[in-house]
Structures are given as structure tokens and as C-alpha cells.
Amino acid sequence: MRLAHIVSFFSGLFSSTEKKSVSNSIYDFKIKSLGGKEVDFSQYRGQKLLLVNTASKCGFTTQYEGLNKVKVLGFPANNFLRQEPGTNQQIAEFCVVNYGVSFPMFEKISVKGADQHPLYQWLEAKTGKRPDWNFAKYLVSADGNEVVYFKAGVQPLDKRIIELVNS
């Protein structure tokens, strides 16, 4: 795993450092679900959200179980050692069959690099942090203005996350 983190670190160094225009609010986003239906993020106004970049073939995949217990939006990404190679349909099947995932999952996107999705540009602009690995987490406040970053190794039911969700 340590080598994988080193590779990820160096690939991040060589990605574009050009400033990108980002959205003003998380509620401005409209992103397709794994099933292909467009989801308007304005429906989440007033809710605390935990956004997580996921991967089916990652050692942190067991976190799906804990993620089912908090309000989560999942974003499959193939940015770390190609650990999410499947199609949207394959990802959806894997999540339901193996982990009973019931939280909203969105189409596969890129969470870093030159093709970084605008949502993750926004999250990075708000926190100054980009995902360190699969299952990195961003907790967005109910008003959509505050975002707290948690590294991939932090469990979904970690005391720090739960305290912020319940505050």
C-alpha cells in the first residue's frame, strides 16, 4: 500500500496546476447517478453530506458497510492504481451485491488530475485537499459553505465524523 501512495503522490505532482473556475455552491451541481439519471444537488439543501470517492477493488472497500449508516454520496473513481475499472452498471451491481449499498452512487468520475470533475475541483478549492486515495471523505455542512476533509483511512463512523454530523 505504501508504494501505491507514493505513485499516487507523484502522479499528483505532474497533473495540471492551472487554476480552474469552480462553482459557487455544492447545490449548483447536477451529476448523473450510476443508473444514468441526472441528480440535482439542490435537493440536498439543508442536509449534511459526506462525499466519498469509492473503488471496488480497494483495500478500503469494506468501508461501504459504515457508509451505509450516514448520509453519503458516493463517486466511483479510477484514479488510484486503476482500482475501479468497471462500468457504471458493474459498479452498481458490485456495491449492492457485496455491500448492500443503499446510498446514492454517481457515475464514475475523475477526482484528481487534468480531467478532475468540477465537483472535486470545488471540494479541493474549499479545503485545499485532494483525495489521498480511494475512500477519501469530504463532509459538507448543512448550509453548503463549510467542508471538512478526511483522509481515506478514516473510517466512516469515526468519532470526528459522527460528532460533526450530529452537531
Predicted confidence at residue 65, as pLDDT, reads 85
Q: Determine if residue 103 is left, alpha or beta; phi over 0 gives left, psi from -120 to 50 gives alpha, anything else beta.
A: beta
CB 41 within 8 A of CB 31: yes
All structural domains of the chain with their residue ranges = 23-166
d(CA 147, CA 135): 16
Please check whether the domain covering 23-166 is classified as CATH 3.40.50.2020. no
Model confidence pLDDT, tens digit, residues 82-126: 999 999 999 999 999 999 999 999 999 999 999 999 999 999 999
Model confidence pLDDT, tens digit, residues 15-42: 444 445 566 899 999 999 999 999 999 9
Single-letter amino acid code for the residue at 155: Q
- Determine what percent of the chain is predicted with pLDDT higher than 90: 77
DSSP structure string for the chain: -HHHHHHHHHHHHTS--------S-GGG-EEEBTTS-EEEGGGGTTS-EEEEEE-TTSGGGGHHHHHTTS-EEEEEB--STT---S-HHHHHHHHHHHH---S-BB--B--SSTT--HHHHHHHHHHS---SSTT-EEEEPTTS--EEEE-TTS-TT-HHHHHHHH-
| Separation in Å, CA 132 to CA 35, 79, 153 | 27, 10, 9
User: Is the model's pLDDT at 6 over the cut of 50?
Assistant: no
Predicted confidence at residue 64, as pLDDT, reads 87
Pull the grid cell for residue 64: 461501504
CB 27 within 8 A of CB 119: no
Pull the grid cell for residue 94: 458490485
The verdict on pTM exceeding 0.75 is: yes
Predicted confidence at residue 81, as pLDDT, reads 96
Confidence of residue 43 (pLDDT cuts 50, 70, 90): very high
Predicted confidence at residue 95, as pLDDT, reads 94
User: Is the model's pLDDT at 13 over the cut of 70?
Assistant: no
User: Is the model's pLDDT at 50 over the cut of 70?
Assistant: yes
Active-site entry in 26, 34, 58, 72 = 58
Known catalytic residue at 95? no
d(CA 46, CA 49): 9
